[in-house]
Structure 1
Amino acid sequence: MCCRLPVLLLPGDHVPARFIAIDDHGLETMAKDEDGWCAAIDPLHLRCSIYQDRPAICRQFAMGGRACLDIRARYRDQRQRGIPLTLD
């Protein structure tokens, strides 16, 4: 789920250009795919395809840490609630 969060690129990051997007404020961010996942995710193996060159923010995000667990819980809650259906 952390790979669905916005990732701002910092000056020391060396991400391949194909994975860089420019946000509404003109800042470089990690690009997203059509489903909202980080474009660097390898869809067959569900892992980072640029792990050795991943952004500093990704390096600092502790897998299994408080922020990670909170995001996973919110994602799980959203999936369990589903999408409300309204019929006309």
Structure 2
Amino acid sequence: MATWQCIENCGACCHLDPRDRPDLDQYLDPDDLQLYLSLVGEDGWCRNFDPVARRCGIYDDRPWFCRVEAQGYQAMFGIEPAELNDFAIDCCLEQIEGVYGDRSLEALRFQREVGLLT
């Protein structure tokens, strides 16, 4: 069974361009939406993302909506905790493929590390 996990040196989730997420206002309240938008740099990447190290500069203090946790996904998307693993895998893979491509090293590494590839 595939098990979701964040992979190092990826950062695809840090590509926050609101044009890719036109429904942000449907799952973030106005204050969280304002915070989200304040994190987006001119290039569409989070201002806290280090593109050289490919890491979040505020990982331990990142906002709740940047975390893959049952409570947040239930609040944003109505995902039940039992469904979180599969939903997170699908979301991450879609984001990685959108940012880096479906044949990228990041996509292949993610698939291998979560157990989609043997």
Give the structure-2-normalised TM-score: 0.41
Whether 1:41 and 2:82 are equivalent positions in the alignment is: no
- Number of aligned residues: 64
User: Which structure would you say has the larger RCO, counting Cα contacts within 8 Å and 6 or more residues apart?
Assistant: 2
More helix by share: 2
1:58 aligns with 66
Once residues 52 and 98 of structure 2 are traced to their aligned partners in structure 1, the CA distance between those partners, rounded to angstroms, is 25
Once residues 9 and 50 of structure 1 are traced to their aligned partners in structure 2, the CA distance between those partners, rounded to angstroms, is 22
Cα distance change of structure 1 residues 65 and 10 upon mapping to structure 2, 3 Å threshold:
farther
Runs of 4+ in structure 1 displaced over 6 angstroms?
A: none
Deviations 1:30-78 (A, max 9, x none): 422232100011233110000110011111277x72101012223316x
The unaligned stretches of length 5 or more in structure 2 are 1-11, 19-23, 70-84, 103-118
The unaligned stretches of length 5 or more in structure 1 are 14-22, 78-88
Q: Alignment identity in percent?
A: 40
Once residues 43 and 51 of structure 2 are traced to their aligned partners in structure 1, the CA distance between those partners, rounded to angstroms, is 11
Once residues 52 and 30 of structure 2 are traced to their aligned partners in structure 1, the CA distance between those partners, rounded to angstroms, is 28
| Pairwise CA RMSD | 3.4
Residue 3 of structure 1, CA deviation: 0.9
Match of 2:14 among 3, 12, 29: 3
More strand by share: 1
Give the structure-1-normalised TM-score: 0.52
Structure label with greater radius of gyration: 1
Once residues 98 and 15 of structure 2 are traced to their aligned partners in structure 1, the CA distance between those partners, rounded to angstroms, is 12
Match of 2:35 among 14, 28, 31: 28
